[in-house]
Structure 1
Amino acid sequence: MRRVGATGAAALLVLALGGCTGAPPSPPQPSVPPPPTASAAPVSFETGTDVGNGRPDVSHDGLMVRRRAVIAVHPAPGADSGATRARLEQAGAAAGVVLSDIVPAVLDPAILEHISPELILALPPGSTDGDAEKLAGAAFGPAGSYPGVEHVHVDTVLVHDLRFTVAAADPAAVATAVAEEGILSDALGNYATALDGGALTVNYTGPLLSDALVEAVRNGMARAAGKELSDVVLAPRSTTGEGVDLSQEPELEAEPEPEPSPQESAGHAHDAGH
């Protein structure tokens, strides 16, 4: 990850897709869907990801996985994070770049050890590190020139870009049942829903999901719709552009070993003397 900017602490802004994901809508109170026929083994959820300290077991790649250029901003102590975000959004608007929210877990674990993001934004598909650097420069100027920012990082991350669809006589009722159960918010974090053509569609762009989490999402939707798991269709959100073959991707960078505290160092030195 390259460090490109100047002054701030603890907010992260990630630039990627124009189509922002969000919490499911609150559709009108519908009829109760039919009894579920799908079931799933319990899955342990972490919001938006099950990456933990490494890349999850993922077989859904190709056009379902995309690259995103990201900007991570460390605001200055006491800085107004809203103002920092506004500057990036203004710079994006001036450049014709639509920013959207994305969760910080898209970053590698080693990077998350270094920063604790509060603000997440994202650039459209196809954007590069260079585009992110230019946008950060337009928003904050040369390093050290904007008092609200301590420094800025840019990097490229991998995200899942997925669409789950299940046919339903009353898609609004299914959306309500899914929201009340909470399985999608637990598994995906942020997502967007659409109620079109006799089907419920869930769109997700965020951290890579393991196969187990993907199946848990399909099971949750099938259960709410009274369908079988196989009735929930998984596809890429877009069939154009360049996907990613995860088998060709390098391993994640290992987290740095924590440095011993002065007390620990002194203790080792004392032990060595005996």
Structure 2
Amino acid sequence: MGRIGKTAAAALLVLALSACTGGTPDPASSPGPTAAPPATGAAPAAATDPAGQVSGEAVSLETGTDVGNGRPASSHDGLMVRRRMVIAVHPTPDADLGALRRQLDRVAAERGVLLSDISPDVLDPVVLEHVVPEVIVALPPEGTHEEADALAGLAFGPVGSFTGVEHVHVGSVLVHDLQFRIGSADPAALAETIASEGILSDALGNYSTSLDGGALTVGYTGPLLSDELVEAVREGMARGAGVGPGEVELAPRSATGEGVDLSAEPEPAETEGAHASGRDDSGH
């Protein structure tokens, strides 16, 4: 897919980097592996097993806030933009990535939480300069910082105790939560045409489709999209249907909950030289 990872910063998001946990600390750096800024939040709680018993040393959590750069220019905010909690695993070179994901899913299922795939491009560029995680999941929209911390702690335990995990980033990101809808006499055929042309896979990466009600509906939750890219999606869908882009309706995927006013978000942060020391010095 030719998506955002290949087209550089056009759709990189904001990450409110809220934790870095797991893995063995680098003795040459400050406390905490790939340390985030000094902790400003509450002390981390001890990890517990599903029965509620303390399973060992608390996972090392360091809390801060950072806003990444490279945010695309977008006028589609409000309920179209949401905050989501993500868990991004920084594996060791010989890690079994499938096993790490299964471990997260197992612990989440025990707590009644459904994790979903999400692009690493949702992460702050400061984090991506350090590592592009091959295992990254998003909690449901109602997921909280505390819940994400607990999942990471239950899944991977005390620092350095889980094979294949160097450390874990737990943070809040901004995502576009969009729905594109176009009427069609044959939505299934239209979806096949669009899929064969790669219109949506190139622009969006992961997306879902619905064929009900005499229309094709495309759902997207992922890195923020520029207005230009949103219009490119509308044009691509309209071209497949033989109509004009104005026939493609754009709306939030959900009309409930709390959206985000992008104009009120802090200005993007500088990243140049942030990792000269190899630490995750993402700032506040």
Is TM-score (shorter-chain normalized) higher than 0.5? yes
Q: What do the CA deviations read for 1:46-105 (whole angstroms, capped 9, x no partner)? A: xxxxxx951001000000000011112112231111111111000100111001111100
- Alignment match, 1:54: 70
- Alignment match, 2:156: 140
- Alignment of 1:166 with 2:221, yes or no, is no
From the superposition, tell whether residues 223 and 259 of structure 1 become closer, same or farther in structure 2 (CA, over 3 Å): closer
User: In the alignment, residue 5 of structure 1 is paired with which amino acid?
Assistant: G
Match of 1:75 among 86, 91, 96: 91
Match of 2:141 among 125, 149, 153: 125
Taking the aligned partners of 1:143 and 1:233, their CA distance within structure 2 comes to: 48
Match of 1:115 among 111, 128, 131: 131
> Gaps (5+ residues) in structure 1?
9-51, 262-274
Cα drift, residue 4 of structure 1 = 2.0
Cα drift, residue 253 of structure 1 = 2.4
User: In the alignment, residue 67 of structure 1 is paired with which amino acid?
Assistant: R
Counterpart of 2:89 in 1: which secondary structure? strand
Cα drift, residue 7 of structure 1 = 5.6
Match of 2:244 among 206, 228, 235: 228
User: In the alignment, residue 249 of structure 1 is paired with which amino acid?
Assistant: E
- Alignment of 1:194 with 2:173, yes or no, is no
Contact 2:100–2:135 under 8 Å retained in 1: no
Cα drift, residue 6 of structure 1 = 2.2
After superposing the two structures, state which structure 1 stretch, 142-151 or 232-241, moved more. 142-151
- Alignment of 1:218 with 2:234, yes or no, is yes
User: In the alignment, residue 69 of structure 1 is paired with which amino acid?
Assistant: M
User: In the alignment, residue 201 of structure 2 is paired with which amino acid?
Assistant: S
- Alignment of 1:5 with 2:26, yes or no, is no
Contact 1:108–1:253 under 8 Å retained in 2: no
Taking the aligned partners of 1:259 and 1:142, their CA distance within structure 2 comes to: 25
Contact 1:159–1:208 under 8 Å retained in 2: yes
From the superposition, tell whether residues 83 and 66 of structure 1 become closer, same or farther in structure 2 (CA, over 3 Å): same
Q: Which runs of 4+ in 1 moved over 2 A?
A: 258-261
Counterpart of 1:120 in 2: which secondary structure? strand
- Alignment match, 2:262: 246
- Alignment match, 1:267: none
Cα drift, residue 258 of structure 1 = 6.7
Counterpart of 2:116 in 1: which secondary structure? coil
User: In the alignment, residue 70 of structure 1 is paired with which amino acid?
Assistant: V
Larger radius of gyration: 1
Q: What do the CA deviations read for 1:100-129 (whole angstroms, capped 9, x no partner)? A: 111100011111101122123210012122
From the superposition, tell whether residues 260 and 89 of structure 1 become closer, same or farther in structure 2 (CA, over 3 Å): closer
Bigger RCO of structures 1 and 2 (CA < 8 A, at least 6 apart): 1
Cα drift, residue 224 of structure 1 = 0.7
Match of 1:157 among 152, 155, 173: 173
Contact 1:108–1:252 under 8 Å retained in 2: no
After superposing the two structures, state which structure 1 stretch, 240-249 or 113-122, moved more. 113-122
The alignment's TM-score, normalised by the length of structure 2, stands at 0.73
- Alignment match, 1:66: 82
Over the aligned positions, Cα root-mean-square deviation in angstroms equals 1.9
Counterpart of 2:73 in 1: which secondary structure? coil
Taking the aligned partners of 2:135 and 2:180, their CA distance within structure 1 comes to: 27
The alignment's TM-score, normalised by the length of structure 1, stands at 0.76
- Percent of pairs identical after alignment? 65
Counterpart of 1:145 in 2: which secondary structure? coil
Taking the aligned partners of 1:259 and 1:102, their CA distance within structure 2 comes to: 25
Contact 1:7–1:149 under 8 Å retained in 2: no
How many residue pairs get aligned? The number is 218
Contact 1:162–1:235 under 8 Å retained in 2: yes
Q: What do the CA deviations read for 1:111-148 (whole angstroms, capped 9, x no partner)? A: 11011221232100121222111000110111122122
- Alignment match, 1:32: none
